[in-house]
């Protein structure tokens, strides 16, 4: 309760001061269209939120449409200035928002702060970008002609985000969309609506201070029904969705059926390759953080460790020394590395995967237990598991959103390790630890890693915002965040201008009139 009060006060989120269609009742009781939010940290009821109805959805879209007419006329650098102000507010609220992320989602406070830092970083990036929405100019083949291309705002961007990065992934999308002149409608995960509401309230301050309509950034708290409405709605030219491959296939199909644009950031099955030339001290740090950090609930979490046979036993022994002593506990506590899983369903999924992989012939080396006792009454704290397995096992082929690390042995050349790494349906993040240039370059070659992210001597998780983020195959192919990911939020137009007194046709076509 102390945490809730503190968060309420510092973030200024008050009851009956709803963001669009979001009735927030602190500690209140549920009515038929509401959802109670309990913290995975201590099982306390944090708040109750009303879920939007299809009528609420219509209101939100109308509000967004109106705001778009105003917003797309604001010069891009001025839009950047609004994002700059939001970034400054986030600096001000960093600790309290980071704490709320930690309390509502369960990641450790350090990671909660890190998540808000990602938001601040993307704001800074977007501010610079607002003066760099460049197109090319081209030389026309015709005399007295000139060609260029320009990028225009697209419209309403639908953002469907997941519980594990409840605010950062939204901000990657929303801040780029904002400088691009789009308005957005954000449907956060139903599991983590409060962090979203907090972000909306902080944004509202900026919008009010600048006399802009709140409809530039819309929030809708709803269930899968609202997500389906968004995917099928041709008033939303772009849907950016983060979550499971199963969800992404549905969203992608619905958006594709109306020829809309979908930016999908879906499941990963990320591997680290440890060759015989790896610096094992740095490698183990990356492996442990990648596998157990965020309790294995990042889409970039390390799920497979592909180890050269010559160092396999040493790695196994070193991990077996580290795993039993991992600091697991209240993520807001000091020196904790592993917090809880998001809910009991996730715990069931964790245990089911461990059972299944053992039935397939895998060996559970350590972990897998649900912690009990005073600090762990929620039943959401688990011991991260290490499993010896084969890459071809069905369970290993799937993404289980929990801290399970599969140890897979390879022999011979690094090409064999790369084939194992690529031998899954997902293609998000990958890494190699090696000090041998031939091996690292083979990993980065066109015939190397098939993932959207390929790192050398760095783990699979924890990407910086400056690069484009996303992956191939079942990961969905979308790219968000840095580099030129902004282009998907804009429509591209090619302009040919004739300043001569003639009308020559392209390709030299002649005709008489
Ligand atoms: C996600 O899990 O959906 O690279 C995003 C990382 C973070 C983002 C993860 N910067 O691990």
Residue whose pair of structure tokens reads 């000091």 in the numeric block: 334
Name the average pLDDT for the chain.
Answer: 94
Judged against a pLDDT cut of 80, whether residue 73 lies above it is answered with yes
Which of the residues 111, 118, 265, 480 is marked catalytic?
Answer: 265
The pLDDT tens digits of the residues spanning 379-423 come to: 999 999 999 999 999 999 999 999 999 999 999 999 999 999 999
Token representation of residue 461: 């998780």
In a mutational test of the pocket of ligand 1, which residue from 125, 170, 171, 300 has the highest number of ligand atoms less than 8 Å from its CB?
Answer: 300
pLDDT(25) > 80 = no
5-14, 23-32, 41-50, 108-117, range with greatest mean pLDDT: 108-117
Nearby residues of 96 by Cβ (< 8 Å), 6 or more positions away: 6, 7, 10, 11
**What was the ipTM of the complex prediction?**
0.97
User: From the CB of 300, is ligand 1 less than 6 Å away?
Assistant: yes
DSSP 25-82: EET----TTEEEEE-TTT--EEEEEEPPPHHHHHHHHHHHHHHHHHHTTS-HHHHHHH
- The terminus-to-terminus CA distance of the chain in angstroms comes to 83
CB contact at 8 A, 148 and 135:
yes
How buried is residue 147: exposed, middle or buried, by Cβ count under 10 Å (0-12/13-18/19+)? middle
Backbone angles phi, psi at 27, to 5 degrees: 60, 10
Q: What is the whole-number distance in angstroms between the Cα of residue 146 and the centre of ligand 1?
A: 43
Q: Is the distance from CB of 279 to CB of 438 less than 8 angstroms? A: no
Instruction: Write down the H helix ranges in 213-279.
Output: 224-232, 245-257
DSSP-assigned letter for residue 360: T
Per-residue confidence band for 2, with pLDDT thresholds at 50, 70 and 90: low
For residue 399, give both structure tokens. Answer: 């993404």
**What local confidence, expressed as pLDDT, does residue 195 receive?**
92
Residue in the structure block whose two tokens are 């301050």: 205
**Whole-prediction pTM value?**
0.96
As a whole number of angstroms, the distance between CA 271 and CA 170 comes to 26
pLDDT at 131: 98
Q: 304 near 408, Cβ under 8 Å?
A: yes
- Tokens at 495, concatenated: 């302009």
Task: Indicate if ligand 1 lies below 6 Å from the C-beta of 242.
Answer: yes
Calpha distance 100→389 (Å, rounded): 37
The helix (run of H) or strand (run of E) holding residue 442 is: helix 437-444
Nearest atom (ligand 1) to Cα of 298: 2
Whether ligand 1 lies within 6 angstroms of the CB of 462 is answered as yes
**In the beta sheet, which residues pair with residue 137?**
148
pLDDT band with cut points at 50, 70 and 90 for residue 1:
low
Apex CA 342: angle with CA 337 and CA 345, to 5°? Answer: 130
Structure tokens at 435: 């000090």
Helix (H, G, I), strand (E, B) or coil at 343: coil
pLDDT tens-digit series, residues 160-201: 999 999 999 999 999 999 999 999 999 999 999 989 989 988
Work out the pLDDT band at 29, boundaries 50, 70, 90.
Answer: low
Tell me how far the alpha carbon of residue 370 is from its chain's centroid: 27
- Predicted confidence at residue 33, as pLDDT, reads 76
Residue bearing the CA closest to ligand 1, atom 7? 462
Do the beta carbons of residue 293 and residue 270 sit within 8 Å?
no
Tokens of 46: 């944090």
Token readout for 280 is 């094992």
Q: Is 164 in the pocket of ligand 1 (CB under 6 A)?
A: yes
User: CB burial class (10 A; 0-12, 13-18, 19+) of residue 361?
Assistant: exposed
Which residues, 6+ apart, have CB-to-CB distance to 136 below 8 Å? 148, 149
Q: What is the pLDDT of residues 82-128, one digit of tens each?
A: 999 999 999 999 999 999 999 999 999 999 999 999 999 999 999 99
Q: What is the rounded CA–CA span in Å between residue 169 and residue 161?
A: 7
What would the two tokens of residue 366 be?
């350590």
Closest ligand 1 atom, residue 300 Cα: 11
Q: Is 461 in the pocket of ligand 1 (CB under 6 A)?
A: yes
Q: How far is the CA of 297 from the centre of ligand 1 (A)?
A: 9
CB 59 within 8 A of CB 21: yes
Residue 13 pLDDT class (50, 70, 90 cuts) = low
**How many residues in total does the chain contain?**
513
Q: Give the mean model confidence (pLDDT) for residues 435-447.
A: 98
Instruction: Check pocket membership of 286 for ligand 1, CB cut-off 6 A.
Output: no
Q: How far is CA 228 from the centre of its chain?
A: 19
Give the pLDDT score at 11.
Answer: 73
Reading phi first (left if > 0) and then psi (alpha if -120 to 50, else beta), residue 185 is in: beta
Contacts (Cβ under 8 Å, ≥6 apart) of 246: none
Q: Are 460 and 301 in contact (CB under 8 A)?
A: yes
pLDDT, average across residues 460-482: 98
Cα angle: 66, vertex 71, 77; to 5 degrees = 175
Assess whether 314 carries a catalytic annotation: no
User: If you measure from the C-alpha of residue 87 to the centroid of ligand 1, how many angstroms do you get, rounded to a whole number?
Assistant: 19
């Amino acid at each position: 309760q102390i945490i809730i009060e503190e968060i309420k006060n510092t973030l200024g989120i008050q009851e009956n001061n709803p963001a669009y269609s979001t009735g927030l009742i602190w500690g209140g009781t549920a009515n038929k269209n509401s959802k109670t939010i309990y913290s995975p940290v201590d099982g306390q009821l944090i708040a109750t939120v009303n879920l939007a109805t299809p009528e609420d959805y219509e209101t939100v879209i109308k509000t967004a449409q109106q705001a778009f007419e105003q917003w797309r006329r604001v010069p891009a650098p001025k839009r950047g200035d609004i994002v700059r102000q939001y970034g400054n507010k986030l600096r001000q609220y960093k600790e309290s928002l980071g704490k709320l992320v930690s309390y509502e989602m369960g990641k450790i406070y350090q990671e909660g702060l890190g998540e808000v830092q990602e938001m601040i970083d993307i704001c800074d990036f977007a501010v610079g970008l607002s003066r760099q929405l460049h197109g090319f100019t081209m030389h026309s083949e015709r005399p007295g002609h000139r060609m260029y291309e320009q990028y225009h705002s697209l419209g309403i961007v639908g953002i469907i985000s997941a519980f594990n990065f409840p605010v950062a992934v939204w901000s990657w999308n929303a801040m780029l969309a904002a400088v691009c002149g789009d308005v957005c409608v954000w449907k956060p995960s139903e599991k983590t609506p409060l962090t979203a509401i907090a972000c909306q309230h902080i944004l509202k301050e900026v919008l009010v201070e600048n006399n802009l309509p709140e409809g530039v950034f819309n929030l809708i708290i709803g269930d899968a029904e609202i997500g389906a409405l968004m995917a099928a709605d041709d008033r939303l030219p772009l849907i950016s969705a983060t979550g499971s491959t199963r969800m992404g296939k549905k969203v992608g199909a619905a958006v594709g059926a109306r020829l809309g644009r979908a930016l999908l950031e879906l499941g990963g099955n990320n591997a680290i390759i440890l060759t015989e030339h790896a610096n094992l001290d740095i490698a183990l740090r990356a492996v442990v953080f990648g596998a157990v950090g965020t309790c294995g609930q990042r889409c970039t979490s390390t799920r497979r460790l592909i180890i050269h046979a010559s160092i396999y036993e040493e790695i196994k022994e070193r991990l077996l020394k580290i795993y039993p002593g991992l600091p697991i506990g209240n993520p807001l506590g000091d020196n904790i590395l592993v917090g809880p899983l998001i809910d009991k369903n996730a715990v069931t999924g964790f245990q089911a995967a461990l059972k299944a992989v053992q039935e397939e012939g895998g060996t559970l080396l350590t972990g897998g237990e649900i912690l009990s006792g005073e600090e762990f009454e929620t039943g959401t704290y688990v011991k991260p598991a290490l499993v010896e397995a084969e890459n071809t096992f069905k369970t290993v082929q799937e993404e289980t959103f929990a801290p399970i690390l599969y140890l897979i042995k390879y022999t011979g050349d690094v090409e064999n390790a790369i084939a194992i790494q690529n031998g899954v349906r997902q293609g998000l993040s990958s890494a190699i630890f090696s000090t041998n240039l031939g091996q690292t370059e083979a990993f980065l070659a066109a015939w190397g890693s098939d993932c959207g992210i390929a790192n050398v001597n760095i783990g699979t998780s924890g990407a910086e915002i400056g690069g484009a983020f996303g992956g191939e195959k079942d990961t969905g192919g979308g790219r968000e965040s840095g580099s030129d990911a902004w282009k998907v939020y804009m429509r591209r137009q090619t302009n040919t201008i004739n300043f001569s007194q003639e009308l020559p046709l392209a390709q030299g076509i002649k005709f008489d009139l």
